[in-house]
Amino acid sequence: MKNLTLYATAFLLVVLDQITKMMIKGFSLFGFDHQGMYIGESFNVLGDFLRITFVENPGMAFGVEFGTGKIFLTLFSLIASFGLIYYLHIIKDAHRYVRIGIMLILAGAFGNFIDRMFYGVIYGNSPLFYGLVVDFIQVDIPDITFNSITYTHWPVFNVADSCVSIGMVFLLFFNKFIPMPYQDTIAPHTSEQDKTTIPNE
């Protein structure tokens, strides 16, 4: 699989991520207004197992809070995206599933970066760099109680979060194929036939 195909796939995943988020949040474009959902609105897709639930978060994937320094998180997402593009370029001959994993993480990182960077300005509720990430996929899990808090479902997520998670799974399963630093510059082992003996003087 060529890198051009991977870049194109990453682009399409980012487009899918943004389309789904705008369908949830609503938009006005070329005279067409789509109302979207209100914060907290939810409806069943597959019974209680899979629901569409509109939430927004200021932090990382799956609603993890980052605390202060939101601008640094936004900039990190951008830098990480360019870093992954460069890394994908230099490992162009690596195992295809390693490159697919990197491509998925790239798509997810850039998808959520767009929310953080631009959504505040587009929707008029915060300045550049301070937009909220749109999450909407809610999956039911068996109730888990931890530190007196009961979790009834997996943290609400989006397409970009899914890309990052699946990409990480790819890298975990195929970690032995991930190129090591300077791997291609290591000198090959010298065979017995290549060895020369310096005679004693």
Residues with catalytic function? 135, 161
Per-residue b or e along 147-184, where b marks 16 or more CB atoms closer than 10 Å to that residue's CB: eeeeeebebbbbbbbbbbbbbeebbeebeeeeeeeeee
Please, are residues 139 and 52 in contact by the beta-carbon 8 Å criterion? no
Measured between alpha carbons, how far is 9 from 57 in angstroms, rounded to an integer? 26
Measured between alpha carbons, how far is 92 from 99 in angstroms, rounded to an integer? 8
Which residue type sits at 191? S
Percentage helix, strand, coil, to 5, in the chain?
50, 20, 30
Name the E strands within 22-147: 27-29, 32-34, 42-46, 50-57, 133-146
Q: Extract the tokens encoding 155.
A: 């943290």
Please, are residues 115 and 104 in contact by the beta-carbon 8 Å criterion? no
Q: Extract the tokens encoding 110.
A: 């850039």
